[in-house]
Each structure stands twice: as structure tokens, then as C-alpha cells.
Structure 1
Amino acid sequence: MSPTFSSERAAALAREHYGIDATEVKALAGEVDLNFYLRTTTGAAYTLKISAPDTALSSLEFQDAIMRHLADSGIPRQTPVPVGNITPLGGGRFLRLQTWIEGKMLGDQHPITASLRWQWGQTAGLLSHALQNFQHPAAPTRYKWNPSQTLDAQVLAQYLTEEERSLAQFFWARFATHTLPRLADLRQSINYNDAHEQNLLVDAHGRITGVIDFGDAMHTHTVNELAIACAYAGMGWPDPIGAMAEVVAGYHASFPLQPEELLVLLDLIIARLLLTVTTAAENLAHAPENPYLQVSAAPAWALLRRLRKIDPAFALAMFRAATGAESSRQFAPLHPVVRLAGKTVVPIDLSVGSLDLGNHRNYTDLPTFTRHVARFLEDRNADFAVGGYGEARPVYTTDAYATEGNYGPRWRTTHLGLDVWGAAGTPVFAPFPGVVHSLAIDPAPGSYGPTIILEHQDQDGVFYTLYGHLSADSLLPFRAGAQVQAGDEIARFGKAGENGGWPPHLHFQVMTDLLGYVGDFPGVAYPTEAAAWMLLCPDPSAFLGPAISARATAQPALETLLSTRRRALGYSLSVSYQQPLHIVRGAGQYLYDVSGRRYLDTVNNVAHVGHQHPRVVEAVARQAAVLNTNTRYLHEEILRFAEELVATLPRELSVVHFVNSGSEANELALRMCENWSGTRNMLALEVGYHGNTGRTIDVSHYKFNGNGGQGAPPQTRILPMPDVFRGRHRNPATAGRDYAAYARQEIERAEGEGRRFGGFIAESILSCGGQIPLPEGYLREVYGYVRAHGGLCISDEVQVGVGRMGTHWWGFELQGVIPDIVTIGKPLGNGHPLGAVVCTPEVAANFANGMEYFNTFGGNAVSCAAGRAVLRVVREEGLMENAQATGQLLQTLLRQLAAEFPLIGDVRGQGLFLGFELVYPDLAPAAAPAKYLKDRMRELGFLLSTDGPDDNVLKIKPPLCFNAANAAQLTDYLQKVLGEDACKI
């Protein structure tokens, strides 16, 4: 900063010329003007601007006129308002004062979300709309920051490296041939011309509320307002066109774009980037001491290199899709590509939630997929099955196909062609006359195999048709450029051994632009790009004949599902996440939404061995096909299951009662306690949860002390949660004994009042309490007190049992105790309604008092088959060992994050039952960051949930197939989100 205009001098100028007595003065960055922030004793704030030498007064008058016009326009954004007059300072410098606009620069907001990019575009559109009727004689028509005049910057190529110059000249040449001739047809207006992230302000809620710095305003093509915003919005993102499209959508919503503007938008975006990099190169040569002049150079070059690889036709499709455009291309084929007349043709659903193919294994294993499609046709006595256009499929959602998008990992799932499934050798015909554009054979499994692409022309222009999964000899008669006539047989369906490994079928696709592809073309699209790809690849159903539709059934809107749910289901039922998920498939440690988006599931411990584990699915299906009845008949399955379950427990626990859920299991266990002791009085733990039945709610502090609860019933006494992190006793060496003492005190107090307790119920790691491990010796002490006074001890293993601890089958084993009763829930059946109560023979004999315990579905053959399969999978697939190894790794990675981010106060748990607690420096619970973390990670493709009495604990209890790679990926993304604004303390 020039000493002539120090902060003290700025304060003096404000006092002298505007009567402003500033008590706080701060110099601000700027490219041209010298800028100062001023605040007075009354709290009023201003920007004092000192222009560069030899500034034209008319240009400043023009800027002031724009600001006054916008202030009077009612635009829903704050803009500076000039205060007083423009004051000459000599040397061609002028002094101006403007109102200060509060807010944080958009560039300092982290992250910049899809909503913010939409608002970014909306802001540019609001400016375009507000300035349509504004004119001013001093508005520049030539200016170095005008994208329409990017060719003027070619003289600055001398400051570029050879590689940079080559890239710039490529884009300049394209601009000269493609865009320059179209500029005369575009709307023109006075533009703000500078909607980048350093000039847009956001409020505390992350909403764009202000616009500053009008020094680049000029008269130019209106669409440049959007082009400049897009140029900056695309920097630094894995998918820059996707980011720009979100800006386009916001702009179009507030100021509708015209088709001819969309045609040149990409080149104008690139034009603005070229102005940025060439000006930065010149500035580096002449003013290397000013870092502000280089702030955008590196990301702009990176974006230009990315855009060089993107076909302009694809970018145009993305921008058109962002405006809501739909394909209007109509086709009237002269011949069907497959002759289906007189044949039995059925639709086939291969979507994410398809019941036609069932288990996920049937998609990912091609031989199994082939058998199922063949069976599908055979069962329906059909010649052909047809479908697939626009269908979201889970075929390519493995790690091998993952790429990085703007919102975490992404996969191509939306199918762009139609499939005709039938017999190998089925002939394929040309629908129009044309020429062979290209031929190819891709031998990789899951590929197109032999492929032909034809080029055609009709009254609307050139288009292409693709034929994939052909027989190898289909390509022999052809070469590129060969003529075909409408109705010519051009190919046949290939066998699995030659067509990319698929069941015999034709993949048929129509393309209006090949985007530079030869012999290949994407057959599936990312869901976020699907609308654009479907503009390029219109519905091909007409090519099969008038009665055939290959378009996938439209999925109900999320709002429709939510509305129906609220009306039809219980009003106290909640949904997860701020933006609910429409989940239609599960596989292993993953859940899939209706678009095929894959989410890493870290919270659904009910899917104990993995969502829809094939061995459990098969066991259930096999048994359900034969017998499913109650336990009053003899059947081997329940006996085998009981023996196998008891074998995992200490020998003292040997009698099993089967039920349908964890709630039923705990309800029955509480009855056993009452029968044993003659009283319903129970001891339970703070923030404990044991089920949704009457008795289980009575011992669930989490329920009766929460929203809608009525407080503890008379028969329940609650012991303090034994939390060594934020609880009453924090010394691990003595906490077990210290916390157990509360049980002794309650028992002695009750006996002094002539009462006693029938038992004590607790989880061996507290789930709703926030994944709280019990301190060493706690259960041993409490169990001793309870038993000494005639009560029973229940270990609720619904959340933590069946091998989840890694080192043991059951959580209570961590404490070296044996309970009188163990309760187990749905994880035992991998989500199938199954639970169990396992007790000692003495407890079982006492309960058998003459009243029969009968449960219609508890212990049915199908549930027992599911349970047996779960136990086998845990053993044979080494899932306990995996829980131990992966859990240890995940704890290590989380502790590394805790060392980096003090927001993480504690990492705890055992095996794959973990939690990390978010706290502020004084150990106050950080519930807001926890909620943000949960919802933000969901946006990025990772499902977490919060728990604990303050809802500030992130719990991790995934299916036991969750592995080391999952742990590393999860913590990598946690690291990114923990660095965002909402998680800073």
C-alpha cells in the first residue's frame, strides 16, 4: 500500500470530505482501486475507494449510476450505495464513499454447495434482469475483461509458455470460427460483468445476499454475465461442467436464456478464462510483487486444460438440460431393427430395485446374470424381452467403475439405449439407409463386444445408431464407409462367449452427436448428467415398432413418497437425513438409491453379515419354498439353530426361547425377571433403549425421558450412564467400581423402604448413550449386587452381539461376566424378523410355571434358516476377525483425525461398534456440527447417524463385511468435511 494513502490518511480523508469519524480502518485488497473498510462509533460501516491515477471521472459516475439503479430496482441482493459525491484528489485520482455490505466472500465459504452455485447463477440472472432497462452514456463498449473481445488478448500470448500458448491458440481459433460469427445475434445490455467468488457475499446461513465491486461493468452481450460466473464456478471441481450447469440453472430460473446464447456459452466461458490467464501472465511480468493479480491464474489454467478434453456438444447438452430442455427429435424408421411382429415380447425390468433379477449377485456375476435372463424368458414362454431406456441400473457400481464427482464417488447407472433380449443369432436390420461409421470389437467382460455404428441423415440432420453385443462374424462383411440400405440385415445377436460375456441380446442406441467417439459410445450415464445424455441419445423405442416401448417406468417423485408416507403411516415415524433417501437395493455394506447412487452404509447393523447376503437370501428362499409353520410341530431346523446358537455362548446359557425381534426378546426377559423375583421393579441405565413394547419402554430411559415420554415409571430406577469421557467419574482405573456403587445404593435404599429389584438390564456397550463402553469391572460389580439381593441380570445384545465385538461373540464377554439372560435381536437374522432369549436352565425352569409361552412366528422354520445362515457366514467368512482388524484400523484412523481436528473429543468402542464424540473446547456437546457432518457425509455418499444424550456422537456400526478400504475411504471424506466451515471451532 502506498504510504501516501495509509489507513490513517484514509481515515482523515473520510473525515474531511464526508464527515465520517472512523474508529476502525482496514486496508482491503484490490486490483485497481485502493480500498479501505471504515467503521464508526455508531456501528455504521463504509467502503472508502481511491481510484488509480488518471482514472476517467465518467467511468466512476457510470459505476455510481449502476449502484443507484440497482438500489432502486428492488433486486433481492444487497449492493453498495454511493454516499456523497465523487471527490477529486489530484493526479487523476478520485475519492468515493459507499455503504458497506456485510457478509463473507463466497470464495471464503467452504464448501460451495450445489445450492450456492444455483444461487450464484440466480444472482447473475437477477443482475441481468435488473439492468435490462438501464443505459448510461459512459458505459464502456471495449474493455479488457469482456469475453466477447477475447481475441484482443492474443497480443498477450508473448507472456505464455509454449504449452500455454498452444492451448490458448486452440481456443482462440475455435472462438473465431464458432462463436464470433454468432455474436451479432445475441442480446446486449449493460452488465455487472464480474460475478466471481470474491465479489459475491454470503450471510451466516450460507446464502448469497450481496454483490460488490462495479469496476468492470460495461455494455456487452448479456450472456457474458452468466459466462463469467460459470468460469469461476467451474474452477477446482472434478466435474467443472456439472458445476457450471448448476449455475446455468439458477441463471435461467431468474432470467431465461435464449437458444442462441446457449450455443456460444461454453466458448464465452473459455474466453473469460483466457482473459484471466493472459492478464495474469502480463501482470506477473510487470507487477510480480502483487499476489492479488495472480489469484485465479493457476485454477484457470487447470480448468482450461480440463475443458480442452470436453466435447462442446456435451457441454451444450448439459447447459440445455439445466434449463429444462427436452429432446424434440422424432424418428420414423423405415424398418424395425429387430422384427418382433408375431413374437411373444415381454418387458423386463433391470433397474436398481428390480424384482425380476433379484439379488445383487445376479447383476455383478455375468454367468449368473445370463442364467437368470434365460430363466426369465423361459418362465414367460417369451421370444424376446425388451426394456432399458432411461433405466437406472446397478451393473457398473463396483469400485472398479467409481470416479470422483463434485459430491463424492459416482457411477454411471442411467442406461442410454434399449435392450432386446432373445436368442443368439437373431438378425438385426438397418432402420434407415446410411453408411458404416465405425466397427469395433471390445473383448473385455461387460463390454459391448462386437459393435457397429451407422451414420444416417434425415430431414433434421445427421444422427447415428449403435448396435452392440453382436456376433463376431457380423462385422466381417463391412468396412467403414460401406453403404447400407434400409431393411438390410447388418448383424446378429452374439453368444455370451463373443458378445462381452452377456446373455444374447442387442444393445441399440441412437445418438445425435458422437462427441468424437469412434467404434464406441457411452451406453450408461452418471445420474447427474442423465438428462444431458438423453438429449444426445433420444428415446429409441420407435425403432422397434409402434407398439413397443423401451422407456423405463418413471419413478415417483421424492415429494410424492414423503406426502404419501406422512398420510398413510404412523405420524411418529421419522426419516433419516435432511434430504431423505429413496433406497431400493442393498448389497453387502452398501445401499443404493433409486438413481443407482451407491452409499457406504456405516449404521445398519441389522444387516449383520451384509445387506441381502446371498447365502442368507438363499437359505430363506429354500426353506420358504418348503415349509414355514409354528413350533408346535417337530422340525429339525429350530433344533439345529438352537444348538448352533448355544454353542457360541458360555455353557451356563443353554436354553433358548425364539421370538421375532429385540423388543420381544427384552419383553420376555423382563417377564422372566418378574416371575423369578415376584416384582416388576428393575434397575436400568441412563439413556438405555430396550424396545418399543410397554415393558421395554418402562426400562428405556432413552424413551420415557425423551420427547413424548412421561418420565420413569414407579418400578424403574435409573443408574447413571458409566461414561468415563464426560460423565461423573472419569478415572478409568476406578470408574467401574465408582459407577457400580450407584447400583448398590439404589438396592440398599429400596430394601430400606421394604422393596427389592427383580433384575438389572443393560447393553454391554451403550448404543443410544453414544457408543459408551462400560468401564472395566462395572458389570461384575453390579451383577454381584443384584444377584446378592435376589435379582437376575439381563445382557441386551441386540446391538452388539453375534460377533460384532471382534474378539468375542457377545459383548458381555468383554466384562468377563455371565448374565442370567441374554437377549438377541434382528442382526441374528440379518434383518429377517428373528430374536432370541437365551437363559440358564434355572431361569427357564422357574419361568415354566404352567402358563405356556407360545409365539406364533418365533422360531418358525424360515427364520431359523436365516439365523443358521448368519452364524455360518460369520464363521466361514471370518467376519469376527474382520470386525476386530477393521475396527482397530478404523479407531486408529479416527484418532488420527482427532489429533488433527479438536472437534473430535473422544473415539471409542470395540470391533465394528464405534463412535466418535464431537465437543467444543470446554467439553460442551457439539450437536450442530454433528448434524452437519451426518448430512454432509450423506451428500457425499456415506451414511452415518448421530446418537448420545446430546446427539453429538457419530456412531459407526456397519455390516460386518465393512473392510479396510471402506475404513480408509470413510475417514478420507471425514477429513474433508471436518475441514469445512460448519465444523470449525
Structure 2
Amino acid sequence: MSFSTAEVQQLALQYFQIQGSVRTLSGEVDLNYLIETGVGQRYCFKIAHPQTSIAELDFQNAMMEHLQAANLGLEIPVPVVGVGNKKILTHRLLNGELRYLRALTWVEGRVFAEANPHTPELLERVGALCGKLSAALADFDHPAAHRWIKWDPSEALWTKEHLHAIDDPEKNKLATWALDLFQKKALPRFPQLRKSVNYNDANDYNILLSFDPLHPEVPGVIDFGDAVYSHTINELAIAIAYAAMDKPDPLAVIGQMTRGYHQQFPLQELETEVLFPLIVARLLISVLCSAQNRVANPENVYLQISDRPAWDLLEKLQRIAPNLAHSTVREACGWSPHPQAEMFVNWAKTNLHQFAPLVEIDLQGPDCIWLDCSVGSADLGNYADIVDAQRLHQRIVETMEAAQAKVGIGRYNEARPFYTTNAFAVEGNHGPEWRSIHIGLDIFMPEGTPVFAPLDGVVHSFQDNAADRDYGPTIILQHSVSPELTFYTLYGHLSRTSLEGLYVGKPIAKGERLCWMGPMPENGNWSPHLHFQVMLDILDLAGDFPGVAFPDKRAVWTGICPDPWYLIAGQASPCSPAIAVAQILTERRKLLSPNLSISYTQPLYMQRGVGAYLYDHTGRRYLDTVNNVAHVGHEHPRVVRAGQRQMAVLNTNTRYVHHQITQFAEALLATAPASLEVAFFVNSGSEANELALRLAKTYTNQQDIIALQVGYHGNTNACVEISSYKFDGPGGKGASPRVHVVPLPDTYRGLYRGSTPDSAQQYAQPVNEILERLHIQGRRPAAFMAETIVSCGGQIPLPPGYLQQVYASVRTAGGLCIADEVQTGCGRPGKYFWAFEEQGVVPDIVTIGKPIGNGHPLGAVLCTRAVADAFANGMEYFNTFGGNPVSCAIGMEVLKVIREEGLQENALTVGNYLKLGLGELAQRFPQIGDVRGSGLFLGIELVHDPIAKLPAASIADYLANRMRTLGILMSTDGPDHNVLKIKPPMVFGKTQADFLLRMLERLLKEDGCKP
């Protein structure tokens, strides 16, 4: 039966003296209403189901009051006293039916389901909330709590007689699996488990959050209708069952929420074993109830709200080995992930003398070396060498030969770069993930090398995985060394002949020849070696057992798969020499200047670059949208090879004649207008701009420079002196008397808004005014200097015709025009090789920096013959490293790559594609105020109000840091720090653009991006 809002108003006033507006709330059993009084007080008014007993309602009231009084920081609704000093009032309907009424205080907050995103920190806080509930209820009881309800995971056995309600055969099979898991893994443990009164309904619509969009707290819960006396661990199981829905990686959710719960209410060993099957049991109950409700109440949408995500989650959980979930829970509690890990280590140390050698050469002897196969390994070389099996093999062979070693040993627990391409990407809760942590040992020796069993065992399984790059042919042995300890050893990358004559259960004696190292490509197409791994649990994975793990699950997998070196040397193997991020940060603070900034709130330790990507020390791949210095792609193989080849022959200065400098100068000048005839070579963009200023001042014999507001030109004294971004920013002292700043020609939020035919003239007029003042003072300008697209100003394109007017005025006044193309040159604008070409002008001097060297310290200045001749006034210009053979060889190769790989055309095509996609997002998300730029030099301006154009630095900062968690590197710029800049390596393609757009759309829906 339903009640009108007028009837509810009358009941609330009659029984609780509460008067106000009424809004209906959802609910499964009770009828729930929000009443808001005229003075801003809010209450939840509840009309109980006719079949609800007064004892149940008294139980709920007592429980809420107990939780509120527990002083654990919980915010819980409590009953309001009504007429007759009662908290539960009785109302008789016209048909004679009795209904119980209650009013509860209103707890401010938003429900967990409305929070976006569900970060690991938030999930841990939800787990902590459940831990607080268990702690607070540990000493609470009530007679009505001892009841049977269908939502209690411990009572999931009732579903057995009703599975026929699930008519889909595949879903019925999944439900049958869930029930079987409950019966086998949970039910037998019940007599030993703790029991208490449980809240029992921490679903995503009952958990309350604070309104802080960035760091929400989890103060409490609502709706106590499902509270029951049951096994305490169900509190956590139920919360996880709901929170893990619609997450690609439910195992991560289990770990995060368990960690929070355990900190508030420590789990017991048996509880960690049954948590996973109880999560599954709650989901089973949910989907079965949905199936029943579809028939009984097809019109009640609320009853079906969790049906699809519950089925999806059950499918994901079915693919997770229960013992792996158990290890995840143990690790989250701060325990060893596997309960027998310590037993294995102690056993191995004690029995070392009984082990047979794995190969004929002593692995601890002088003929062996430890190889560096880590993400940042210089031994592995360029990424092109890593992804090519033959080149990788050659690298390993050369490293071993250089050390005169017969055996190369690849480390255990080492982050590696081998599986970090798109082919191996897996969608995680926070973007793509890759398995990169090696959880075995590699023994590199020639193909056909025999391998011997280190101890007695039986064949557990074997597979011919020759097409599988994980292992190739594989054998797993089982070793039952004591009644308490059984473990397994895995032998991968074998020859096919190794599998001949094997059968499951075949005894293998210690020291018996077990297999042979396989040849390429039979062994999975790796450099010949043995992958040797120890497993304390086979996890029902057999031959598909992974040899590498995801970084965020490193502790779990190394707990299940202990160091195999214990079976060789009776001790842990030498760790990878990688230095921890915290240690590096400590050393930076100690040894480096504090104004050397670090990107992101969580700093990144980068160890490898490839094309448009950077890789951190864990092997996590990041799409790079900001490092334009790696112009043709990080560590482009051709550029690397050009530098290596020349470095191996000669590197000297320009006082000796060498052909590289003239060839490079000719090739670079060929990209510029014909009037730019002379090149100077330096080591950076800062040096290039410093030299450009010297050239202009020498040519004009003047000192005054006109520059743009928020412009940035480098870190030398002269460059900082003309960079408004620096001298008008923190620590700056304003412009010097010889530097004249003109307004930033920003037609979106600048002095003159809206791109009109008059914009160029409006923004050029301040230049004319400065020139007039200089003329009155009897001075002339030395130069006007500007970036053609202003980077630190917020990726601001100059209004069409602006430079034409400014250049004409400056030249008429006797000054030179300098185009700073450090960030925008070399094809980045797409349509043109140099950004100034878009303006239809030819500068007197053009500068370019490290992009021309693809990150190698190289810069150049191009100028007219007249400027160069004036500079040759008798004072020698010499730069020790500028124009050296190695730098010139690298610069020459960069120009070739730009041309031969069509990177300027790529910048145009992909830039337009990306700009169009960003424009479509701007139509749907008002936070995007403006999208601008050319080619692969774009800016996204974020605003709180698209009409007033109020800058949204907080949104820009949120996006940059959240993008990092999703695997995309972005950065902010602009005078108000509200512009996301996009200036990636020029190999950035449509695939990368689609990924960027998809992730940006995802984040713009999150709480931290609300305007």
C-alpha cells in the first residue's frame, strides 16, 4: 500500500510534531520519506511493512543508538521521540490494519553509489567503516537479532532449493558454482568463526560519504532493516560484494577494503579463508532474489538495481582461484600472503645440503653473472632490441661474452619491460595494466642444456606451450617434503623433447635429468634459458601459471611464489639494484636545490622511453602528452644509432673541420625561408635564445627588448630577464628598464576577447605605443621576441595577422624580429614546418632547442646574412660543444626521420583529429572553455563558469594528477594554471588520441571535475 505525500505530512505531524515538505525515497521493505522542515531540519520518516514486528523495530532503534554512542566517529541516524515519549508509534488504517511509524534523524551525505571515482583510498575507507561497525557491535546484542533472513550470506544454503528460478542455463551453472564454493569453503568453517550482531547491508546506496569531491570521508550508514546476528566477517563480505561491482579487477577491491577493515577490527585467520566464498554467497543471494522478484514484482525497478553488475561480478570471481583471493586478504592484513611461506624458507635453509644441482655448472661459481633485465637496463638496450627476439638474444649473448660468463642469471622479483605492449595490456580499475614483475629465476645457457631435478617429486602437469611467449613447453613438479609442506617447481622455455615419456604422477628422482633448454622459437621464442619458479600453491592454474605478476599485486605473488634461489643456495637471491623512489627523493632534498620541481603529487620514477610512451620503475606504461623534447619519439632507434655510430668515431669541437656540421646546417636551413641563410649551433633552447638576443643587440647596437606577457624563453640571465613568466612570477622582481612587456594576445580570456578582424590590431597597438615611447626617449628597439604559439601563456595562438603588424612596426623602428620556435618548430604545427609561417611572416632570427636533437643537448639559431655579418665584429664566437659531430649527426637524423616518417603530416592529421574530439567533449562538458592550437601543440582551458570564464585551476590540477593514475602524462600551464597542454612526441597517433579522449571523457564525469 502507498501513501500520498499529504497523508505522510499528516502522520508526521500527528505522531512526531514534524511539519514540512515530503519526498518519497526508495526502499525494499519499508516506505521511506524525506521530510524537510521550514527551518532546514531533515528527517527520515518510515512506515514499516505490515509484517514487520515491533521487536524488529526496537532492535533497529537500539542498534542505532548503540552505534551512535560508541564514539568511533560514526554518523548514524537515531530515532526521534514522538508523542507519549515513544520512538515507535502505531497507526491504524481505515481497513483496520496496524502500521508502525518511526522518524529518524537525517544524516547529511551522499551515497557511495554516487561517488566517482571509487579510488583505492575511498575503498579502504569503506572497509574501515565496516571495521568500525564490527568493533562497535562486538559488545551489542538484542533478542530480535537472532533471526533468519535471506540476505545473510551465512544462510546461503536456502538458495539450493530455488536455483531453478534462474532459467538461463549459463547463469544457472554460475549460480551452482557459487553455491558449491560456499558449501565447500565456508560452511565447514562456521563453527570456529566469530559471531556478532551485524549491520549486514553495507551496499552502495546505504553507505554515506561526505561531500568533499577529492578526499571524501565515510562517516556512516543508513537503513538497518537487514541487521542480524551472524558471522562477523559477513560485514566485510557484503560491503565488498557491492563495492566490487562494475570494477574490472575485483581482487584489488578485496585487498583494499580488507586493509581498511583489518586496521579497525583485526581479522582472524579462519575469517580470511571464508571471506571470498561469503562474498560469492552474498552475490548468489542477490541474483537469485532478483530472479524471484522479476516474477513477483516486475514493476519495482529498485529490486533489480544490482542484477546485471552482480552477474558480471560473479563471472569475474569465478575466474579467480579462491586461494589467490585468500592470499590477497592475508597480504592486506599485513601477513605473509601464504601461510607456509616461512615454513618453506626454513625447510630450504635446513635441507640445502640435500639438493641436487639444477644444471651442470655451479650457479654460484665464477662462470655465472647476474643479468640486468630490469625496465631501465642499459644491457637490454633500446626497446626495439627488446621486442625483437633475435636482437634481444644477441644482447644477452653479448653481455655474457663481455663478462666471459657461461651462465647468465635473470633475477627474481625484478620489474621487466617485456610484456608492456598493447598486446599484453589488461584493463584494471585505474586504466591499463601490464604484468611486469618476474616471479621466477632465469638461467640463460645454450639450447639443449640439460636440467636436473633439484629434489624428489612427481609430475604434476606438463604442457606444450610452444606458441606461448610466457613459457613455451613447460613442466611442473610436485614435492611433498613433509606432512605439513607441499610445494611445486616449474620449468619453462623447454624443448619439445623434454615432454616425451612424461605422464601425470610420474616419479622424478633428485638429480634425474628432467628436461632440456629449448631452442628458438620452439621455447616460446626467447633467448635459450630455463625459467625456474617455485609455487606454494598451484591455484588450479597448472600449466597456465603466470611467471610475471602485476606490480600492484607484487607482494601477493612473491608470497605465493618464493625466491627459487633458496633451492640453489639456501638463501634469498641478490635483489635488483634499483633504488627506491623514497630514497631518491630524500637524496634530492639533500643534494639538489629545492626549486628543482617534481611533477605530480605522487612523483614518478621513469626508467625507459619508447615512442610516445614512458615507463616507470615498475614497468607501468604512460602515454606522454607533454614531453615535446622527444620530438620524433622517445629513444627513436635511428636517432640513437646515429649518435652511437658517430660517438664511436669522433666527437670534437668546431675548430676542427668536419662535414657533419655543414651538412646539418644545410639541411636545417633548407626548412626555413630563403632569407635565413646562416646557422649557429648551441646546446639548448636557452642558449639559442641567449645568442639570438646577443645577435639582435649587436646588429642594432640597442638594448631594449619587447616581449609578451607570460612569455618564457629560457633559464639564462638574459632569457629570464625578458621572460615575464619568470620575472612576474614567484621570486621575480618585475621587468628591467630595458624590457617592455605587451599584453598576451589571448582572444579567449585576454584584454580583448573574441577572435575578430580587429583582434590583431588591438593587440598590436601596445607594441606601437612602446615604440613611440622609445622614439621620444631617443632609443630604438633591439628586437621583438615571441613564441608563435605562447606555451607558458596557455598554448595561446596569436591572432591572425598579429605578427605581420608587429613585425612591420618593429622593423620600421629599426628593430629585429625573433621567433622563438623552441617548442613549436620542426613540423609540430602540422600545416607548416615552423609556426611563424602560419602568420605569413619571415623573422630575422629563429631559434630552436632540444627537440631538434630529440632530447640530446642541441639547439640552433637561424638568421639572415646581414645579422650574422654584423655579429662577426672581431670578437670570436666559440661554443665548445655547439655543433660537435655527435650532435650534428643526431640533428641530421632527426630531420631525416621527420621527413621520411611523415611526422609533420602526422602532426597535422592527428592534431586535427584530436582537436575535433576535444571540441566534441567541450560541447558536452562546460568545464572545457576553449580548445586551441595547431598540429600537436594544443591547449585545453578549464573554467568553472563558461560565461564568466572563471579559471578552474583545481579542475586542471585534478585532471593532470588523475590522468597520471590512468597512465597518461599531462601537465598544466597558463598564468592561472588552468590549461592542460598537449605537446607529445610527434609519433603520437590516432590510437593514442582515442585513448586520451576516452580517459579525459571518463574523468570529466568525476566528482573532482564538477564545475
TM-score, length basis structure 1: 0.97
Stretch of structure 1 that moved more, 470-479 or 68-77: 470-479
Find the counterpart in structure 1 of residue 864 from structure 2.
840
Find the counterpart in structure 2 of residue 629 from structure 1.
652
Q: What's the CA shift for 1:789?
A: 0.6
Distance 1:57 1:561 in 2: 63
1:581-600 residue CA offsets vs partner (Å, 9 max, x unmatched): 11111111100111100001
Q: Answer whether contact 2:847 2:862 (CA < 8 A) is retained.
A: yes
Q: What's the CA shift for 1:568?
A: 2.1
1:691-723 residue CA offsets vs partner (Å, 9 max, x unmatched): 111211121111111122222222121122222
Distance 1:834 1:514 in 2: 54
Secondary structure in 2 matching 1:442: coil
RMSD: 1.9
Distance 1:780 1:162 in 2: 72
Alignment partner of 1:774 is 2:776: no
Q: Answer whether contact 2:844 2:863 (CA < 8 A) is retained.
A: yes
Q: Answer whether contact 2:112 2:204 (CA < 8 A) is retained.
A: yes
Find the counterpart in structure 2 of residue 385 from structure 1.
408
Q: Answer whether contact 2:89 2:102 (CA < 8 A) is retained.
A: yes
Alignment partner of 1:532 is 2:539: no
Q: What's the CA shift for 1:565?
A: 2.0
Distance 1:535 1:792 in 2: 68
1:86 to 88, 113, 117: 88
Secondary structure in 1 matching 2:432: strand
2:967 to 941, 952, 965: 941
Unaligned runs of 5+ in 1: none
Alignment partner of 1:15 is 2:25: no
1:601-641 residue CA offsets vs partner (Å, 9 max, x unmatched): 01100011111111222222222233333222222222222
Secondary structure in 1 matching 2:972: strand
Distance 2:878 2:332 in 1: 60
1:966 to 992, 997, 1000: 992
Distance 2:226 2:645 in 1: 73
2:419 to 396, 413, 419: 396
Secondary structure in 1 matching 2:219: strand
Q: What's the CA shift for 1:92?
A: 4.0
Find the counterpart in structure 2 of residue 2 from structure 1.
2
Aligned pairs (5 A) from 1:334-733:
334-341=355-362, 342-444=365-467, 446-459=469-482, 460-546=484-570, 549-550=572-573, 552-553=575-576, 555-727=578-750, 728-733=752-757
Find the counterpart in structure 1 of residue 125 from structure 2.
119
- The alignment covers a number of residue pairs equal to 981
Q: What's the CA shift for 1:429?
A: 0.7
Aligned pairs (5 A) from 1:885-900:
885-900=909-924
Q: Answer whether contact 1:343 1:384 (CA < 8 A) is retained.
A: no
Find the counterpart in structure 2 of residue 978 from structure 1.
1004
Letter aligned with residue 39 of structure 1: E
1:63 to 43, 60, 64: 60
Letter aligned with residue 10 of structure 1: V
1:328-368 residue CA offsets vs partner (Å, 9 max, x unmatched): 23234621322442551111110111122222222111111
Identity %, equivalent residues? 50
Distance 1:346 1:525 in 2: 24
Q: Answer whether contact 2:708 2:786 (CA < 8 A) is retained.
A: yes
Distance 1:729 1:269 in 2: 58
Stretch of structure 1 that moved more, 906-915 or 458-467: 458-467
Q: Answer whether contact 1:729 1:738 (CA < 8 A) is retained.
A: no
Q: Answer whether contact 2:470 2:547 (CA < 8 A) is retained.
A: no
Q: What's the CA shift for 1:725?
A: 2.4
Distance 1:80 1:676 in 2: 79
Secondary structure in 1 matching 2:379: coil
Q: What's the CA shift for 1:414?
A: 0.9
1:150 to 148, 153, 156: 156
1:540-577 residue CA offsets vs partner (Å, 9 max, x unmatched): 11222347x54542754433333332232211122112
Q: What's the CA shift for 1:486?
A: 0.7
Distance 1:99 1:564 in 2: 53
Q: Answer whether contact 2:370 2:411 (CA < 8 A) is retained.
A: no
Find the counterpart in structure 1 of residue 38 from structure 2.
41
Aligned pairs (5 A) from 1:90-101:
90=92, 91-101=97-107
Letter aligned with residue 583 of structure 1: M
Q: What's the CA shift for 1:795?
A: 0.3
Distance 1:288 1:477 in 2: 60
Letter aligned with residue 733 of structure 1: P
Letter aligned with residue 77 of structure 2: P
Alignment partner of 1:76 is 2:73: yes
Alignment partner of 1:243 is 2:253: yes
1:54 to 51, 55, 68: 51
Alignment partner of 1:809 is 2:806: no
1:820-844 residue CA offsets vs partner (Å, 9 max, x unmatched): 1111111111111111111111111
Q: What's the CA shift for 1:679?
A: 2.5
Aligned pairs (5 A) from 1:151-190:
151-163=157-169, 164-190=171-197
Q: What's the CA shift for 1:159?
A: 2.6
Q: What's the CA shift for 1:183?
A: 0.8
Q: What's the CA shift for 1:14?
A: 3.0
Distance 1:447 1:30 in 2: 50
Q: What's the CA shift for 1:507?
A: 0.6
Aligned pairs (5 A) from 1:164-313:
164-205=171-212, 206-313=216-323
Q: What's the CA shift for 1:268?
A: 0.3
Q: Answer whether contact 2:795 2:933 (CA < 8 A) is retained.
A: yes
Unaligned runs of 5+ in 2: 82-86
Secondary structure in 2 matching 1:758: strand
Distance 2:185 2:772 in 1: 90
Distance 1:308 1:468 in 2: 27
Distance 2:865 2:714 in 1: 25
Q: Answer whether contact 1:390 1:551 (CA < 8 A) is retained.
A: no
Distance 2:474 2:300 in 1: 56
1:124-161 residue CA offsets vs partner (Å, 9 max, x unmatched): 11111111122223223422211000112333334321
Find the counterpart in structure 1 of residue 84 from structure 2.
none
Distance 2:472 2:7 in 1: 75
Aligned pairs (5 A) from 1:308-319:
308-319=318-329
Q: What's the CA shift for 1:276?
A: 1.2
Distance 1:95 1:723 in 2: 63
Stretch of structure 1 that moved more, 968-977 or 614-623: 614-623
Letter aligned with residue 91 of structure 2: L
Distance 2:880 2:395 in 1: 35
Q: Answer whether contact 2:918 2:931 (CA < 8 A) is retained.
A: yes
Q: 1:380 and 1:240, CA in 2 relative to 1: closer, same or farther beyond 3 A?
A: same
Q: What's the CA shift for 1:369?
A: 0.4
Distance 1:541 1:679 in 2: 72
Distance 2:419 2:298 in 1: 49
Q: Answer whether contact 1:628 1:861 (CA < 8 A) is retained.
A: yes
1:218-237 residue CA offsets vs partner (Å, 9 max, x unmatched): 11111001100110011111
Distance 1:134 1:210 in 2: 18
Find the counterpart in structure 1 of residue 773 from structure 2.
749
Q: Answer whether contact 1:273 1:300 (CA < 8 A) is retained.
A: yes
1:921 to 946, 970, 977: 946
Q: What's the CA shift for 1:442?
A: 2.4
Secondary structure in 2 matching 1:216: coil
Stretch of structure 1 that moved more, 82-91 or 264-273: 82-91
Letter aligned with residue 921 of structure 1: P
Distance 1:279 1:102 in 2: 30
Distance 1:382 1:524 in 2: 26
Distance 1:618 1:319 in 2: 48
Q: What's the CA shift for 1:763?
A: 0.6
